[in-house]
Amino acid sequence: MSKPTPISGFPEWTPDQRMIEQYVLDRIRSTFERYGFAPLETRAVEPLDQLLRKGETSKEVYLLRRLQADVDGPAGDDALGLHFDLTVPFARYVLENAGKLQFPFRRYQIQKVWRGERPQEGRYREFLQADIDIVDRDTLAPHHEAEMPLVIGDALRSLPIPPVRIQVNNRKICEGFYRGLGLTDPEAALRAVDKLDKIGPVRVAELLIAAAGATEAQAKAVLALAEISAPDASFADAVNALGVSHPLLDEGVAELVQVMQTAAEHAPGLCVADLRIARGLDYYTGTVYETQLVGYERFGSICSGGRYDNLASAGAVAFPGVGISIGVTRLLGLLFGAGALTISRQVPTCVVVAVASEAQRAVSNRVAETLRARGISTEVAPSAAKFGKQIRYAERRGIPYVWFPGADEDEVKDIRTGAQVPARAEVWEPPAADLRPMVS
Amino acid sequence: MSKPTPISGFPEWTPDQRMIEQYVLDRIRSTFERYGFAPLETRAVEPLDQLLRKGETSKEVYLLRRLQADVDGPAGDDALGLHFDLTVPFARYVLENAGKLQFPFRRYQIQKVWRGERPQEGRYREFLQADIDIVDRDTLAPHHEAEMPLVIGDALRSLPIPPVRIQVNNRKICEGFYRGLGLTDPEAALRAVDKLDKIGPVRVAELLIAAAGATEAQAKAVLALAEISAPDASFADAVNALGVSHPLLDEGVAELVQVMQTAAEHAPGLCVADLRIARGLDYYTGTVYETQLVGYERFGSICSGGRYDNLASAGAVAFPGVGISIGVTRLLGLLFGAGALTISRQVPTCVVVAVASEAQRAVSNRVAETLRARGISTEVAPSAAKFGKQIRYAERRGIPYVWFPGADEDEVKDIRTGAQVPARAEVWEPPAADLRPMVS
């Protein structure tokens, strides 16, 4: 057959990049678990009506169809699509299993999602997300909205990546302010403000007038709100100075003040109140988050989320939630592209045991067994070639040690320095820095 | 909305089952890495022509279609399907990246796969597999076929599951024997023998006569071969005693003898030569493996694979490989169903820090930070309710400790015994058995 080619939007890492990704995922998972989030995985598919319940994402869904569906007759699979985020499936899971869960329910979920979007730098059709969410029954205490950035700050600080800045806003501030101004379609206004980074203030003002029915003065006030940014709760003074009042605005300001005060107390410098943050997905109802890598702001947000009050509800029972999602593939793709992440070797292997002849392979196997039982990743050379060739096998993969079984005594060679010393598999230890591949 | 319901064939674990699954995956991954297998993930989708290249699996494929494909015009996505195993995508990956890889290439891959099959006990439409494979360029040394069961034996021995028995056969034995008998369609004969467990010897004999053109004597000989089973290389004597000869038969016997001798040397009792093992997928060309849980043989194989010489080839260059795959979802589904796996709590959390009043939440947050920084999974109580209610929050989740910040001195309570003692977050340690949830 001819050589296969990549499929645009479906990235595949090399094994050494995948080792870096696993290192990153292990760190993220460990942080999430230290905060008491329980793991969850949901199936990759949801009924189409679930996927289309909220938001403007309908055009991004991949539907499934069984190849032989016409032969076997309809199987109902035609109504299944791949999930495009982990929040909608989680809300469905909570509704389906509410009777078995303890509330508030804290879960993390690290899975691939799929969107049929046009691929571009940092945008994929298949990508990995790492989410945390907290949902409660009936009401959700606002301190959970303040906890989210602290968890994410901890998780991202544990990674070999640039420092981050979490930008926080509250939809109630925007909606309350727009209503206080007299605008009747606050959603249209929010959608216009959401485009600020892309099209700039002049065109957003035009859009506010054309699509959200704003006057020039109202458009100017909307933009003035969006320009407010502060590293602490002082953003509230700037909002008040604009002279608009509405009960929802007051509620939103009080909630954002709590988030900013908690952040200042527990993680100074992590959060900034940034009132231009809108988030496209329609299901957010309160606090919203985006995250910039300091020095790589051009990458856009690598971690986003917010509070949603109406995503999961069954009859009279509602399950309000708050969540945030790290775009792992996006983050790694950008950092790999910038050459900002490397690993010390291409394989987990620390030692290759040389093979003197095929008849003596069992001797080398036994050395390898002893080393592995002590937690040292070990391969046996694939052929009883000349030792020079066996050393090159290790060298090409960045494996630091080659082990030579001997009649009386074994020896181990550090192939970087050439130093070869007597060794016993029962006791030999590599330096800690050589035991596993190092990410930097 | 109405309460959502499960989708048949797409299992979802509860968070405590997912914790068990993660424990199992961590063990498997750690073993694979100790043998020097590098991690790989491939995209979930493959071009349909790749998926249909080999085997009888075409009817199981899920195709993708973008919901808005008709609006946006054709996107080429119609020719993409979800992968149904990890071997075909791996072979494609090797061909695509051959120039960048070092051979022999050892990789492991732990991912979901999808098949549009009719769901039944232990059979799913979405399930998780954990695969190892070794491929080489042009030729692959046969000792790799002997290595596979040792790695898998080690990986499965590290899990809290019953002991396993790996059944090994070699397709060359079957094909050579059938050809030596004078049968002209050995594949049809193999397909008949593959049904032995399902339909029994009488109906297999009928099938051999009807579909593979065998005489009654030939069918009897084919069944006699399939009945051979031995815990060591003595199977070869039983094959010889049947009095059939063919060069391919000799080759297969020699290869299986090597696998059985290596197994006897390094993992006595792990493997059995079982000449009825056929494996359905057409791409196997040599050694084949299946795996039974001792005492749960009725579950069928939980780990299967084999050698494939022709799956990955481009022009004159071939990449023969050997691999084996643990059916993780199948294994866990069966053990969960049998109540054979449990975990000591439903969340990772070891300590809940009580909150005296919302105004003092920051005090409790600081205790939690100190404990987390020392690796102890900690939550802060979600509300400043009466302490009895905060203790019940922990109790319902199986969390062993509740921490009470005090004006002078903190105290920690083991809620299983009721014992409450003074403690400092900077130095307090739970017993090792309480630090993480325990799987048994």
Helices (H), A227-298: 235-241, 247-266
Residue A70 has a pLDDT of: 55
Q: What is the edge-to-edge ordering of all strands in the sheet holding A378-380?
A: A378-380, A351-353, A401-404, A410-414, A420-423
In this complex, the residue of A18, A143, A154 whose CB is nearest that of residue B39 is A18
Residue A51 has a pLDDT of: 86
Contact A126 B48 (CB under 8 A): no
Report the complex ipTM: 0.94
Residue A74 has a pLDDT of: 47
Assign domain A351-435 to its CATH architecture.
3-Layer(aba) Sandwich (3.40)
Number of H helices, E strands in chain B: 15, 19
Neighbours of A390 (CB within 10 A): 22
Contact A59 B68 (CB under 8 A): yes
Nearest to A165 by CA among A326, A290, A277, A253: A290
Nearest CA to CA, how far is A110 from chain B (Å)? 12
CA distance A249 to A247: 5
Contact A33 B377 (CB under 8 A): yes
The answer to whether B291 and B302 are in contact (CB under 8 A) is yes
Q: Which residue of A has its CA nearest to B33?
A: A348
CA distance B230 to A389: 38
Contact B44 A112 (CB under 8 A): yes
The answer to whether B179 and B246 are in contact (CB under 8 A) is yes
Residue B279, annotated ligand binder? Answer: yes
Contact B75 A12 (CB under 8 A): no
Nearest to A437 by CA among A373, A351, A350: A350
In this complex, the residue of A3, A104, A349 whose CB is nearest that of residue B95 is A3
The answer to whether B86 and B129 are in contact (CB under 8 A) is yes
Cα–chain center distance at A175? 28
Written as six digits, the tokens of B146 are 């002997």
Contact B96 A4 (CB under 8 A): yes
Query: DSSP label at B343?
Result: B
In this complex, the residue of B1, B141, B378 whose CB is nearest that of residue A314 is B1
pLDDT band (50, 70, 90) for residue B66: confident
Token look-up 């709100």 returns A225
Beta-carbon contacts below 8 Å between A and B: 245
The answer to whether A335 and A341 are in contact (CB under 8 A) is yes
Which is higher by pLDDT, B65 or A17?
Answer: A17
Nearest to A108 by CA among A39, A158, A41: A39
Q: What is the pLDDT of residues B253-297, one digit of tens each?
A: 999 999 999 999 999 999 999 999 988 767 899 999 999 999 989
Contact A114 B35 (CB under 8 A): no
CA distance B440 to B436: 13
Contacts of A144 in chain B (CB under 8 A): 382
In this complex, the residue of B19, B314, B349 whose CB is nearest that of residue A3 is B314
Q: Which residue of B has its CA nearest to A311?
A: B1
Q: What is the mean pLDDT of residues B187-203?
A: 92
Query: DSSP label at B86?
Result: S
Contacts of A259 in chain B (CB under 8 A): none
In this complex, the residue of A44, A68, A143 whose CB is nearest that of residue B59 is A68
Peptide bond into A400 cis (omega under 30): no
Q: What is the pLDDT of residues B346-356, one digit of tens each?
A: 999 999 999 99
- Kindly tell me if the per-residue pLDDT of A351 is higher than 60: yes
Q: To probe the interface with A, which of B143, B158, B360 has the most A CB atoms within 10 Å?
A: B143
CA distance B238 to B382: 69
Which is higher by pLDDT, B409 or A79?
Answer: B409
Neighbours of A250 (CB within 10 A): 17
Query: DSSP label at A286?
Result: S
Nearest to A264 by CA among A230, A305, A303: A230
- Kindly tell me if the per-residue pLDDT of B57 is higher than 90: no
Average pLDDT, chain A: 93
The answer to whether A246 and A180 are in contact (CB under 8 A) is yes
Contacts of B67 in chain A (CB under 8 A): 48, 58-63, 81, 116
Nearest CA to CA, how far is A77 from chain B (Å)? 9
Average pLDDT, chain B: 93
- Kindly tell me if the per-residue pLDDT of A77 is higher than 70: no
Q: To probe the interface with B, which of A1, A27, A370 has the most B CB atoms within 10 Å?
A: A1
CA distance A87 to A285: 14
Neighbours of B10 (CB within 10 A): 18
DSSP code per residue over A295-335: T-GGG--SEEEEEESSSSEETTEE--EEEEEEEHHHHHHHH
Q: What is the mean pLDDT of residues B193-212?
A: 94
- List beta partners, residue A156: none
**Residue B155 in 3-state DSSP?**
helix
In this complex, the residue of A15, A81, A313 whose CB is nearest that of residue B40 is A15
Q: What is the mean pLDDT of residues B64-93?
A: 78
Neighbours of A246 (CB within 10 A): 17
Alpha-carbon distances, residue B46 vs A75, A114, B78, B291 (angstroms): 22, 14, 11, 28
Domain regions of chain B by residue span? 351-427
Contacts of A66 in chain B (CB under 8 A): 59, 61-63, 116
A232-241, A304-313, B232-241, B405-414: least confident range: A304-313
- Kindly tell me if the per-residue pLDDT of B73 is higher than 50: no
Q: What is the mean pLDDT of residues B396-413?
A: 97
In this complex, the residue of B34, B92, B365 whose CB is nearest that of residue A377 is B34
Angle of helix A186-193 versus helix A216-226 axis, rounded to 10:
60
Residue ranges at the known binding site of A? 85-87, 115, 129, 133, 279, 283-284
One-letter amino acid of B47: P
Peptide bond into A104 cis (omega under 30): yes
Number of H helices, E strands in chain A: 15, 19
Contact A12 B43 (CB under 8 A): yes
Up-side HSE of residue B4: CA atoms within 13 Å toward CB? 23
Nearest CA to CA, how far is B154 from chain A (Å)? 10
Which is higher by pLDDT, A70 or B251?
Answer: B251
pLDDT band (50, 70, 90) for residue A76: low
Q: What is the pLDDT of residues B112-147, one digit of tens each?
A: 999 988 877 778 999 999 999 999 999 999 999 999
pLDDT band (50, 70, 90) for residue B55: low
A66-80, B195-209, B371-385: least confident range: A66-80
Contacts of B102 in chain A (CB under 8 A): 346, 396-397
The answer to whether B104 and B79 are in contact (CB under 8 A) is no
Highest mean pLDDT among A55-69, B67-81, B240-254: B240-254
Contact B18 A3 (CB under 8 A): no
CATH for B351-427 (3.40.50.620, 3.30.1360.120, 3.40.190.10, 3.40.50.800): 3.40.50.800
Helix (H), strand (E), coil (C) string for A104-129: CEEEEEEEEEECCCCCECCECCEEEE
Contact A61 B63 (CB under 8 A): no
Angle of helix A247-266 versus helix B361-373 axis, rounded to 10:
40
One-letter amino acid of A260: M
- Kindly tell me if the per-residue pLDDT of B415 is higher than 50: yes
Q: What is the pLDDT of residues A116-135, one digit of tens each?
A: 888 777 789 999 999 999 99
pLDDT band (50, 70, 90) for residue A411: very high
Nearest CA to CA, how far is B123 from chain A (Å)? 15
Q: What is the pLDDT of residues A255-295, one digit of tens each?
A: 999 999 999 999 999 999 999 998 876 789 999 999 999 99
Residue A222 has a pLDDT of: 97
Q: Which residue of A has its CA nearest to B435?
A: A34
Helix (H), strand (E), coil (C) string for A49-111: HHHCCCCCCHHHCEEEEECCHHHHCCCCHHHEEECCCCHHHHHHHHHHHHHHCCCCEEEEEEE
Residue B131, annotated ligand binder? Answer: no
Query: DSSP label at A171?
Result: H
